[in-house]
Structure formats: C-alpha cells, structure tokens
C-alpha cells in the first residue's frame, strides 16, 4: 500500500496481481512455510479489511471463509464478512452459529497507532491477546492460529500464553514485512482445548 515509505515493490506487485494489499504475500509465505491451512478448513480472518488475506484464503480452502473487521469489507465472491470488533461477544456468537466448526483463525489486525511507542506496543499486545482468546473460544481441537505481533517488552508473555494452548508455536518475520520493521507473526499449530 502507498505510505510514507512510498510505493514499494510488494505494493506494485499486489496492484498488478489484483490483491487488495501487499499483506497477501505475507500470508502466502506463512502458508508455504508452515502449511497451516488444509483444503477442508473453515477459516476466520480477524482484522480482515481491505481483504487481501481473504483473497488468498479463498484459494487455499474449499470450505468457508469468514472475514471480520471494524471497517466494512468490499464484496468478495465466496467470502462471508462481519463488520464489528473481534472482542465483541456477539461477533463470536455469530461466528459460532455461522460455521459450527472452525479449523483455523488468522489475525492480521492492527490498532490505530498513537505514535507513543510503549502505549502502542501495549495496545498491540492487548489486541493480540483478544485474538488469542477468540481463537481459543471457537477453534476445534487440533486447529491452527496465526497472529501478527511486534517485538517488544510484552511480546514474551503473549508468546508464553499462546504456548499454553497449542502444541507447536513458532515465530516468523516475513520477507514481505518492511525493512527494519519489528513485525513478526506467531504461528501456533494443533490447538489443545
């Protein structure tokens, strides 16, 4: 996406290939490395707007794909969307009644940043913990979870919390993340309920 960093290669590639954002390549890299999604998986994408992950997810499964965001998500064939907060109990209930079984939860959500580093870091980890709680509430035994986070003082606690619920937990700094970014993804496989 265009930004203070300018229109980088990944942005141009995404535009050319019809993806709604450059973030699409991060999910492709995660899938290639960790094989988190199988063809029959029902998937929930938290913080899904504008929808490039949804575009990728639609190609990875033949089952259902549901995207949730505070902002509306423009229509995508074969994708269901909900407008709301991932932390809202009603959204959680809606997902449960729509899908029944949820095999994978992915979360690329990011809060609006204030520019105050420690406040922003705490807010991101809080959102990550909410996504983890959402995943633990809906996932089927053995399901997988991916969440975008950032390195910082509170990160080890989030990582430890995730490890309590999944058999295998790893991190990945994707090649498509911006240079110098502290962004990293937690990849958690095999949910233990």
Tell me the catalytic residues. Answer: 148
Q: Which residue stretch of 35-43, 66-74, 117-125, 162-170 sits at the interface with ligand SAM (rule: CB under 6 A)?
A: 66-74
Q: Is 52 a residue that touches ligand SAM (CB under 6 A)?
A: yes
Binding-site string for ligand SAM from residue 1 to residue 40, where x marks contact by CB under 6 A and - marks none: -------------------xx-xx----------------
What's the CA gap between 42 and 70, in Å, rounded? 21
Instruction: Indicate the residue among 78 and 142 with the shorter CB distance to ligand SAM.
Output: 78
CB of 190 to ligand SAM, least distance (A): 23
What's the CA gap between 120 and 97, in Å, rounded? 33
Tokens representing residue 83 in the block? 């407008």
Binding-site string for ligand SAM from residue 127 to residue 166, where x marks contact by CB under 6 A and - marks none: x---------------------------------------
Q: Is 67 a residue that touches ligand SAM (CB under 6 A)?
A: no
**The only residue of 72, 78, 111, 142 in contact with ligand SAM, by rule CB under 6 A:** 111
Chain contacts with ligand SAM (rule: CB under 6 A):
20-21, 23-24, 47-53, 68-71, 85-87, 108-111, 127
């Amino acid at each position: 996406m265009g930004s203070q960093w300018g229109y980088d290669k990944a942005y141009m590639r995404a535009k050319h290939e019809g993806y709604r954002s450059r973030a699409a390549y991060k999910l492709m890299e995660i899938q290639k490395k960790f094989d988190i999604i199988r063809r029959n998986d029902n998937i929930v994408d938290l913080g899904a707007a504008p929808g490039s992950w949804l575009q990728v997810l639609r190609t990875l499964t033949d089952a259902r794909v549901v995207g949730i965001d505070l902002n509306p998500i423009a229509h995508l064939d074969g994708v269901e969307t909900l407008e709301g907060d991932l932390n809202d109990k009603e959204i959680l209930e809606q997902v449960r009644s729509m899908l029944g079984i949820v095999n994978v939860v992915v979360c690329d959500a990011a809060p609006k940043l204030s520019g105050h580093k420690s406040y922003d870091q705490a807010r991101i980890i809080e959102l990550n913990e909410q996504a983890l709680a959402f995943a633990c509430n809906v996932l089927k035994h053995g399901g997988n979870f991916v969440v975008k986070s950032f390195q910082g003082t509170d990160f080890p606690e989030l990582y430890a919390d995730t490890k309590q619920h999944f058999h295998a937990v790893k991190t990945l700094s994707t090649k498509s993340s911006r240079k110098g970014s502290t962004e990293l993804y937690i990849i958690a496989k095999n949910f233990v309920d």
